[in-house]
Structures are given as C-alpha cells and as structure tokens.
Structure 1
Amino acid sequence: MYLALMSSAGSAKREPSELWPAYRIGGEKNPSRLGDSGKDVIIWRVLLPGYSGAALNDSRRLTFQSAENPSGPIFPQETSDLIERAVEHERQEDCSRNQALVILQARGSREVLEAAIMLCRSENPVRRNVGATILGQLGNPRSFPEECCDVLLELVRSNPELEVLRCALFSLGHLANPRCQPDLMRFANHTDPLVRYAVAFSFHAPQTEEAVQTLLRLMKEREEVRVRDWATRALGLSEADGEAIRDALLANAVDEDEIVRTEALQGLARRKDRRAVAYLIEELLTPTCHVDDFADAAKIYLGLNAEQEFDPAELIALLQAKRQ
C-alpha cells in the first residue's frame, strides 16, 4: 500500500516526519515526492509494506490495517502497543505473519531498538523470542547493527531455551557480522537439527580455518537437508579454496537434493574446477524447476554475463567446447 500524505506547497522543503510528527513507520526516511496536485498541495507517497489501509484514531495518530486481514483490527502506532501485539501473536503460536513485528522492524528507530533489548533481557522466553526477531532485521538498511549483534550474542551465551537459541542464531545470520562466527561454531554440533540449520544459515564467508572445517562438517549433515544446503552455499560463495573444499563441493554436486547440487556446482564454477562441467551438462540436459540456477553456474564457469539469457542448449554447447 502507498499512503498519500498532503502538505501545502509552502511546506515542500520540509520532511514528512516534520509535517506529521505522529508518522513513524517504515518508509519515512525515503519518501518520494510525486509532484504537485493543484497549486497549493504537495503529495508525498510513502510505502507501507503489508498494509492496505490507514486511519486517524481519536488522538489524531496514524494507525495501519493489515493487507492480509483488512477487516481485522487497525494496528496502533505506539511502540509499546505494537510490542504487546507482537508478543501476543507469538504467544498464540499463530502461523500467519506477525504484522506488528513487521512494523517494528520497519521503523528501525532507537526507540524500537531499546524496546527489543528489554525484551531480550526479559525472563519470559516468548518476549525474548520477539526481541531477538526484531533485532535480526531492524531497519532497512539495518539500523544499529553492532548494538543488535551485541545483544544477540549476549542472548546466545546465556544458555537460553531451545526456541530462543534458534531464533537468536537465525537473527545473527540476518546481521551477517563475521565476529559472530566463534559463537556460531560453538553450536555446530548441537543435538537439535534446527540449531545446526540456524548455524549453517548464519555463516557467511568463513574467517578462519576452524570456520572452514566447521562448514565442511555441516556439508555432510544427513538429518536436516537445510544444514547441508546453507553450509554448501556459505563455503561455495567464500574465497576459501583448497583440495578438501573442492572435494566436498564435488561430493555435494551429486546430492539427492537439487538445491544442494546447485550450490555445490556454483561453488565449483567459481573456482573454475573442470570437474563441474560434466555435472552441469547433465543437469542442463534434464531441466527441472531449478534449471536457472544450474544455468547460472554454467555462466559463472564460462565467464558469461550473469544478466544475459541463454538457452540451455547454448550453454551445453559452450561447456562441451570447453572440455575439448
């Protein structure tokens, strides 16, 4: 939804946040001026992700209605009210989108940061879960990433409940801060497969040999395929190289899971490993729903423009020419 807010032409140099002090929702920082509507009115358009309607309540503050449930309650604007709505949604184990939480993340403000920190330090695990989720994706681009990282690391080091641990680890992954890696490695052999999944998801470019070895172990995970997938992706995208890394990628190039195979072959392609060619040809000869990912791997290997479209047959011919 786009909300059109109008101001007089004389106020054109002022930001919407000055003109409407109550307005504090995602998109405030980057409004787009659509132009004049008549002589004396400027229309500002602000994107409200996931919302279908807006209204002024009795206190003249803007409130927003969910696009998924337009007949449902209109969300309040106050951070404290949104926090309670987000916590209640989590408490009910509702599988639908937590709209109040989405609003809080979109705001990306210091006020929301401080509220989320308080949640993370609560004795209630549901509140800690909500706090960790907010911190993982606070603002776009991310607001206060170092402070968010500090609090999440504090949380994972506090021996939290299993669900809170999972949530905090995934949130660290959204922050992609390399200083998290020593803490991630502590949980790489956790008995819970979803914790191991969170660890693999949260790894990005490995910073040490120990981190590389951790990913190599996770690439062999059999219980939870998403562990194997994300570990393969992390190592495949990294600058790390060597015989053990290439052999691990080659092993996963014949994995039973198609997504794992795409990640492995893209990793080999980045390293220009000739052993990837035969597997790429085979995958392109039998196209599936992930044929575009295998095509991307072929383009990486061949050094082609990633944005350029190629028919699988063209890529096969080019790969075969490389083999000769």
Structure 2
Amino acid sequence: MSWTAATVLTDDGEVPLRDLPVAELVSAALAVDEDSRPEYTAFLQLRGDRETFEAARSLCGSADPARRALGAYVLGELGAVALSDEGDIVVVPRDQRPFRMPAVTLLLDLAAGEPAGEPDGWPTGEPLGRPDGWPTGEPLGGRDGWPTGGPAGGPDGGTIGGTGGEVQAAIATALGHLGDPRAVEPLGAWRSHPVVHVRWTVCLALTRFASRDDDALRYLVELTADPEPMVRDWSCCGLYQAGRDTPEVRRALMVRLDDDDAVTRAEALRALALFGERRAVQPLLDALDRPPEAGDDETGEVAGLVAEALSLLADRTGDPRLLARLRPSDDD
C-alpha cells in the first residue's frame, strides 16, 4: 500500500491523512515522535497549494526553532509530488511547481536571519525527511540520491526539536531540493558550522550546484578536509557526482587516499578513477589486495566503491594490472 493511503483515527472515525486540514497536519507533525513526523510532513508537501504555502510561511516566521525547521522542510518539497487520477505518485518537475520561487525567497531570508549556532544541544534521534515510498526521481546527492530516511541521515541524527543547528540543517536541505543557484552563498557560509549535521546537509546541498557553480565546487573541495569522516566521505562523493576535473579537485582527492576512514578513501578512489588519475592506480591495487574485514564493511559499501573504481580506472588508463583484475581467473 502506498504511503499516500495512510489513515489516522479522529473523532469522526478513520480518515485519510491527506484529507486532514493543514492546521491539523502541522500540529500533528510537531507533536508526533521522530519516526512518524516525516509522514505528516510529506502530506503537507503533497498538498502543494496556497494554503500550505502560507502555513509554511507562518512557521518560518515563528520564534520556535522547531516550527521554523518544519516550515523550511515543507517549503523544500512543496508540490514536489502529486497524485495522478489513478492514484499513482507522480514527480512534478521543479520548474512546474508554482511556489518554488517564493519558497526560495523565503528560505534565503530565513537563512540570513539564522545565527551560526552552537555545537551543544543538537538532539538525537531520526532526522526529519521522507516517508517510505517517497519517489526518488530528483535525487539531491549521495551515493544513492537523497537518503529516504531523512534530510541527510546525519551522523548525530537530528530532529526538528531542540536547539543547535536544526533550522540551518532544514534550510540547507530545502535549498538543495529547490536547486536555485542563489543558495550557494548562504550554504557556503555554513560550511564551517560547529554542528556536524549542518555541515553534512550543506555538503549534500552543494552537490546539487557543484557541476556548474565554481563556488559550490570550491566549498565541496574544502569540505573534503572536514574533521568529521562522514562529511569528508560525502564531499568526495559530491565531487564524483559533480564530475568536474580540476587540479584543485584532484589534489583534494589525492589527500583523502590516506584518510583514516575507509569509506572516504573508497569515495576518493572512485572520483579519481572517474578522472583517469594514474596516481590512483597503486592505491587502488593496494585497496584490492587489502580489503576491509567483513565486520568493518557489513553493508559492502567499501567493496562496491572499490569495484566501481576498478572498472572506471581500468577503462580510462588501460593499465594492464587493473585490466587483469577485471578478468576472471582460471579458477573461477
């Protein structure tokens, strides 16, 4: 059953969530636990109408950080999907969403008024984001597109409640989804934010712009040296997705081949392989000869990235040592 068919028990009996008034959806989104919140937020986004836009505008003007964060999340994908006459979920192109440009203006104004934030107080738990089944037709970044469990699925979690960067993370998430180039400047201003989750959402959002914006690319390069492994990891992934081969990009990725984090090293290898960087051949051979222990790569993420790097670099360099690794052995 599609998430759009979800129901809620009211005084009038069981009713579809999508039929709840906007005010009730907002109240429910703010009242439920972190696991349930994305569902209510998604139904607000699904409405895609003037009433919901005005409700999100009002939320963004609140003194309560939780309400401002919710308003930002709603604006980021307001009208991003719709239901067809047959009840199927349809992705709506960004340029066909009537409230996209007003949403960008609101979010840029909101970003300008947010403080830098403090590292203490960032709440734990599952981050706000999409319900299961939300379409992935417009990925924002990351290895498999924008994560479906939340806006970024950050290393420290993060909910819309509490203090310490949740509003900035929500704004960065929303601006990334909306894809307006004016977002690059405020996103870049938060690349050294003290809260890890904010820097991570900034990294993901910048990935949207780095293929064509020089500043976004420069900020991603800087984030490859972030003290948090997951930010380094995803910034290397963003450089891969951007696909822009510059000396600065190659230098930053080469440094990450000695990173303490295995996923970051593998992401750097894959990006360098995309660019046909011959200096990555030996590090790649070393990675193939010394794979991580099974317990250190339970999801197979590192192995998958290294395998992808092998295919790319063998194709681009024609190095016989790499080509030999691609061929099945006589014992297979």
Name the TM tier (shorter chain). Answer: 0.5 to 0.7
State the identity %. 31
Alignment partner of 1:296 is 2:296: no
The residue number in structure 2 matching 1:63 is: 16
Structure 1 window deviating more from structure 2 (201-210 vs 224-233): it is 201-210
From 278, 282, 289, the equivalent of 2:282 is 278
Tell me if structure 2 keeps the 8 A contact 1:236–1:249.
Answer: no
From 174, 194, 205, the equivalent of 2:177 is 174
Alignment partner of 1:95 is 2:95: no
Q: CA deviation at 1:303?
A: 4.4
CA distance in 2, matches of 1:109, 1:274: 52
Amino acid across the alignment from 2:223: L
Structure 1 window deviating more from structure 2 (78-87 vs 210-219): it is 210-219
- C-alpha spacing 1:178/1:315, structure 2 compared with 1 (3 Å): farther
Alignment partner of 1:149 is 2:100: no
CA RMSD of aligned residues (A): 3.2
CA distance in 2, matches of 1:231, 1:50: 37
Q: CA deviation at 1:155?
A: 0.9
The residue number in structure 1 matching 2:198 is: 195
SS in structure 1 opposite 2:278? coil
Amino acid across the alignment from 1:227: V
- Which segments of 5 or more consecutive residues in structure 1 lack a partner in the other structure? 2-46, 65-74, 305-312, 320-324
CA distance in 1, matches of 2:271, 2:51: 42
The residue number in structure 2 matching 1:29 is: none
CA distance in 2, matches of 1:145, 1:211: 21
Alignment partner of 1:219 is 2:224: yes
Q: CA deviation at 1:268?
A: 0.7
The structure whose residues are more often strand, as a share, is 1
Paired residues in the alignment total: 250
The residue number in structure 2 matching 1:85 is: 28
Tell me if structure 2 keeps the 8 A contact 1:201–1:227.
Answer: no
Relative contact order (alpha carbons < 8 A, sep ≥ 6): 1 or 2 greater? Answer: 2
- C-alpha spacing 1:259/1:136, structure 2 compared with 1 (3 Å): farther
Q: CA deviation at 1:248?
A: 1.1
Alignment partner of 1:256 is 2:268: no
From 113, 118, 138, the equivalent of 1:158 is 113
Per-residue CA deviation, residues 113-133 of structure 1 (Å, 9 max, x unaligned), is: 222122112232221111111
Q: CA deviation at 1:56?
A: 9.8
* Larger gyration radius, structure 1 or structure 2: 1
CA distance in 2, matches of 1:259, 1:214: 20
Tell me if structure 2 keeps the 8 A contact 1:137–1:175.
Answer: yes
SS in structure 2 opposite 1:157? helix
Tell me if structure 2 keeps the 8 A contact 1:269–1:301.
Answer: yes
The residue number in structure 1 matching 2:140 is: none
Alignment partner of 1:234 is 2:238: yes
Q: CA deviation at 1:168?
A: 1.2
Amino acid across the alignment from 1:236: Y
Tell me if structure 2 keeps the 8 A contact 1:122–1:128.
Answer: yes
Per-residue CA deviation, residues 57-87 of structure 1 (Å, 9 max, x unaligned), is: 849x9424xxxxxxxxxx8621121011112
Q: CA deviation at 1:54?
A: 7.3
Q: CA deviation at 1:208?
A: 4.5
Please show how residues 119-158 of structure 1 align to structure 2 within 5 Å: 119-138=59-78, 139-140=80-81, 141=91, 143=97, 144-158=99-113
CA distance in 2, matches of 1:189, 1:113: 31
Q: CA deviation at 1:209?
A: 4.0
Q: CA deviation at 1:50?
A: 7.7
